[in-house]
Amino acid sequence: MGSKKDREKRLLLLLSKNQGYMTSEELAQLLETSQKTVYRVIKGINDNYSDGVLIESEKGKGYKLNYEKYISQYITQSSRKSNYSPAERRNRIMERLLLSSPRSEKVYELFEPYYVGDSVIFNDEQRIASKLKEYDLTLERKQRTLAVIGKEANIRRAIADLIQMHNIIDIDELKSNQELNFNNYDVLFILDQLRVIEEQLDITIPYPYNVNIFSHIYILISRSRKVGLLKLSDNHSISEEEQEELQNDLSLYRVAKTTISNVENYLHQELPEVEVYYLYQYLVSSRMQGIVRKMTSFSTKVVEVTQTYLNEMSAYLNISINSDSIFLDLANHIKPMLNRLVHNIRVKNSLLDQIKITYEDIFEYVSEVSKVISEKYNLPVINQDENGFITLYFARIIETNQLPIRTLIMCTTGVGTSELLKVKIKKNFPELEVVDVVSTRDSKKYLERYPEVELILTTTHLNENLPVKTLLVSAMLTADDQNRIQQKIKEINNEK
Amino acid sequence: MKNKSLFNILFHRKFDSRSDMYHFIGERVSHHSTLLTSEVVDTLLQREQAGNIQIAEHVLLPHFESSKLKESQIVVVHLHEAISKWNQHVSDIKLVIFILLKRDETLDTKKEITNFMRNLADQDYIEKLLHADSEESFTQMIIQ
């Protein structure tokens, strides 16, 4: 984090989220950097932009994104192919080494396409080695060759994190995506396997789990083609413990077995027995839609963890969450999540940056609750990607159950048109909570009595300037009145 | 059962215009209060300027509150013929409901008025009032 590219991305996200101007000071604070850096990043973005400026500035106001340009740029940018950045170069080399591990590759051949000198190569080696260390893998250098040494499971984990799959949201896009450099036959074969899995289980596997399973099978195919997995020393058969686990869900076990045997046929190569177990792990770690019979059969742990999230978050957010459908929805996410944690399966969250910026507070709360849950239930650390997913559940709860807006209704008498209006408002605007119906004469007094009031609807023009949003409507509550109320509600919710 | 004295029902009355009607109400009120006819008319006109008093098609709800009223009243006027032009914005009025509220009225009376108001939020009820064909049924709809 903190690289130049990353900062540019985050700055653009911040500006795109904000419709008005933002000052360099605000931006610096949000990006946790200096104002000087903000100037530099903005200049960098604008200099690189061919058609005028992307970020507009105005004296005294600050900076604003030209949204139209930003959107159209986004579309063209993603099709850029050549000119790898140093980070991209290292990733591609690392991917190649991982795929052919434990076989060694000649240094010259690895770096040749990038036209770089010895000092760069030396530097890249250092960085790749330290990155691999995060996965308990070592980079071995022998007579101008490089090789990655370590456990198969770790190698796969590293490849999965590396492949830029997390930009793919629509799985069918894989068929035509040029950038990933995938073998097109493999892609079609795997997509077909996914379809078969869904058909056999009579479910759909939603994003991002489908992409995750895709990349698992893709890596399996690539690895076995490159090195022949049966030859590897740490390939092994299914242990008793694993066998027991496979019995937990026989239909998934069956599907895993069929799929692996299909892959064997496709590769004309036998695969280690344990591959069935690996794939099974991915399947139990995925959310599947359409399994009605399983909806109510959550383990105590799933129920407890889900309930903890709901309780803690409802306290944090100061809202009451007690709907069964919300519980079911979240529990259906938590169940595979716990499997992912135990099996060390990471699902990339392509929206993470956006989630962190858009739902900053919720994300922070969720992360804290996750920490508590990890400790209490003795689980591995719940990473940011997972916290991002959970954040979306609560963001949705808030958006759909936004607290009602406390509203006063006024007219000259407090019993005439206002009372009539109250009935109509209650019927048409459930998001408004009518606190009281009062007379305009005493408006100030009532505002003191109800300091939490956010909106005043009045049927007569108010002469006084009140510190709350007010709206003049007719007791008829015409379509025009309703539209204007709707707009006020939006305004108020946006400010919350 | 509603408090009958609160309601004043005038069925099939003929008024030519807004000022005709306001003047009539003003006079009526002046008999039971220290308000002058012109004061009542002015207050009603002012209320109209402050905000639309129409509550449904063909129906108006002029209302005001005053400490000079001796008692609160709801005057419901069913017009024999519609007033085609009430003011610049409002036309074709067939039913006018006056709410004349005594300042610091008791909670009970206020509740009674409120209940009646709630009925008026119901379009079906309004339709029934508009189409009432006898004084008896009209009164019954309001009092009971």
CATH 1.10.1790.10 in chain A is located at 300-400
Mean pLDDT of A382-390: 92
Gyration radius (Cα) of chain B, Å: 14
Overall fold of domain A86-159? Arc Repressor Mutant, subunit A (1.10.10)
**In the predicted model, is pLDDT for residue A206 greater than 70?**
yes
Q: Residues A128, A94: contact at Cβ < 8 Å? A: yes
What residues contact residue A74 under an 8 Å CB cut-off, 6+ apart?
none
**DSSP per-residue string spanning A410-451:** EESSSSSHHHHHHHHHHHH-TTEEEEEEEEGGGHHHHHHH-T
Higher pLDDT, A173 or B130: B130
Output the pLDDT for position A139.
92
CB contact under 8 A, A416 and B114: no
How far apart are alpha carbons A284 and A442 in whole angstroms? 63
A405-495 — its CATH code?
A: 3.40.50
How far apart are alpha carbons B77 and B98 in whole angstroms? 8
Mean pLDDT of A168-188: 71
Higher pLDDT, B71 or A412: B71
**Helix, strand, coil share of chain A (percent; to 5):** 60, 10, 30
Q: Which of A460, A461, A463 to mutate to test the interface with B (most CBs of B within 10 A)?
A: A460
Q: Residues B50, A463: contact at Cβ < 8 Å? A: no
How far apart are alpha carbons B92 and A45 in whole angstroms? 64
Buried b (16+ CB within 10 A) or exposed e, B93-128: bbbbbbbbbbeebeeebbebbbebbebbbeeeebee
In chain A, the percentage of residues whose pLDDT exceeds 70 is 89
Q: Residues B101, B63: contact at Cβ < 8 Å? A: yes
What residues contact residue A428 under an 8 Å CB cut-off, 6+ apart?
A477, A482
Overall fold of domain A4-77? Arc Repressor Mutant, subunit A (1.10.10)
Q: Residue A191 is which amino acid?
A: L
**In the predicted model, is pLDDT for residue A233 greater than 70?**
no
Question: Could you tell me the residue range of the domain that residue B43 belongs to?
Answer: 4-143
CB contact under 8 A, A419 and B114: yes
CB contact under 8 A, B99 and A416: yes
Residue B87's SS3 state is: coil
Cβ of A412: how many Cβ atoms within 10 Å? 26
Here the CATH number for the domain that contains residue B32 is: 3.40.930.10
Which residues of chain B does A416 touch, with a Cβ-Cβ cutoff of 8 Å?
A: 61, 63, 99, 101, 117
CATH 1.10.10.10 in chain A is located at 4-77, 86-159
Confidence tier at A73 by pLDDT (50, 70, 90): low
Biggest CA pair distance of chain B: 39
ipTM: 0.84
Token look-up 């007094």 returns A445
Confidence tier at A169 by pLDDT (50, 70, 90): low
**In the predicted model, is pLDDT for residue A293 greater than 50?**
no
Q: Please give, rounded to a whole number of angstroms, the shortest distance from the CA of A478 to a CA of chain B.
A: 9
Q: Residues A433, A407: contact at Cβ < 8 Å? A: yes
Token look-up 């056999």 returns A200
Residue A57's SS3 state is: strand
Predicted confidence (pLDDT) per residue in A23-44, tens digit = 888 888 888 888 888 888 888 8
Nearest to A40 by CA among A27, A52, A30: A27
Q: Identify the helix (H) or strand (E) that includes residue A357.
A: helix A352-358
Average pLDDT, chain A: 83
How far apart are alpha carbons A385 and A355 in whole angstroms? 10
Exposed / middle / buried, residue A127 (Cβ in 10 Å: 0-12, 13-18, 19+): middle
Mean pLDDT of A72-100: 70
Exposed / middle / buried, residue A295 (Cβ in 10 Å: 0-12, 13-18, 19+): exposed
Higher pLDDT, A460 or A18: A460
User: Of A411, A415, A424, which has the smallest distance from its Cβ to B114's Cβ?
Assistant: A415
Q: Residues B132, B78: contact at Cβ < 8 Å? A: yes
**In the predicted model, is pLDDT for residue A316 greater than 60?**
yes
What residues contact residue A295 under an 8 Å CB cut-off, 6+ apart?
A328, A332
- In chain A, residues 420-479 whose CB comes closer than 8 Å to chain B: 420, 423-424, 427, 437, 439, 441, 458-461, 472, 474-476
How far apart are alpha carbons A186 and A181 in whole angstroms? 11
A241: Cα separation from own chain's centroid: 33
Cα angle value A329/A330/A331 (rounded, 5°): 95
Overall fold of domain A300-400? PTS-regulatory domain, PRD (1.10.1790)
How far apart are alpha carbons A148 and A155 in whole angstroms? 8
**In the predicted model, is pLDDT for residue A391 greater than 60?**
yes
How far apart are alpha carbons A181 and A162 in whole angstroms? 13
Mean pLDDT of A454-474: 87
How far apart are alpha carbons B129 and B58 in whole angstroms? 11
Nearest CA in chain A to B101: A413
Token look-up 């040749």 returns A112
